[in-house]
Amino acid sequence: MRRLLTVSLALAVAQLLPSAASSQGRPDSGALMTAQRAALRPLAMMDGVWRGTARILDASGSWREHPQTERVGPMLDSTLKVIEGRGYDADGKKVFNAFAVLSWDAGKKAFAFRSYTSGLSGDFSFTPTDSGYVWEIPAGPMTIRYTAAVRDGKWHEVGDRIVPGQEPIRFIEMNLQRVGPSDWPAGGAVPPR
């Protein structure tokens, strides 16, 4: 009986929501999507499949290099961009995997960037530049800053640990070449039949 009452209440609330939204004026989804596509358009140079190397500074202070790939593509009628990075050891075993979603918030007039890796996730600042982008992770008194240049089929990205009053410490450098286009993630959608 309690479950039936909960379901009935949920249905009643759901029926009220459209009328409440329409009385306040529903946002123009076409205009919102146009703004989102326009904001993401300059970052189309990232779309495709990329392959190269990443050099990472390990805990001992030594640099280690491994194969790195990225795949990037538009989703939801090009109103957001998805990014997946993978790092491999010498035997081809995946040792790193990251995923991110980039979108434009027309209301805030700012990019929204959500990243996932190693069981962690967060929302971070993202700023396009003339040749790429910068995104940052606040980490207490320190900031992790990633700076990328993507042009002419080359993707160069570095990561620096920045502590106020100290010189930045570079801990990663990635150099990739564009392998080609990709229909990921929109390709392979489940058809209606």
Report, as an integer, the average pLDDT of 131-149.
96
Helix (H) / strand (E) containing 39: helix 29-40
Q: Which two tokens stand for residue 35?
A: 């703004």
DSSP 47: -
- Please give the domain boundaries of the chain with CATH numbers for all domains: 29-180 (2.40.128.20)
pLDDT tens sequence across 156-185: 999 999 999 999 999 999 999 999 999 999
| For residues 141-159, average pLDDT | 97
Report residue 35: phi and psi, to 5°: -65, -40
Q: Where are the alpha helices (DSSP H) in 76-149?
A: none
Taking CA 85 as the corner, what is the angle to CA 182 and CA 80, rounded to the nearest 5 degrees? 60
Q: Which residue has the higher pLDDT, 26 or 71?
A: 71
Predicted confidence (pLDDT) per residue in 60-107, tens digit: 999 999 999 999 999 999 999 999 999 999 999 999 999 999 999 999
152-158, Cβ contacts within 8 angstroms, sequence gap of 24 or more: 153/177, 153/178, 154/178, 155/46, 155/50, 155/52, 155/70, 157/132
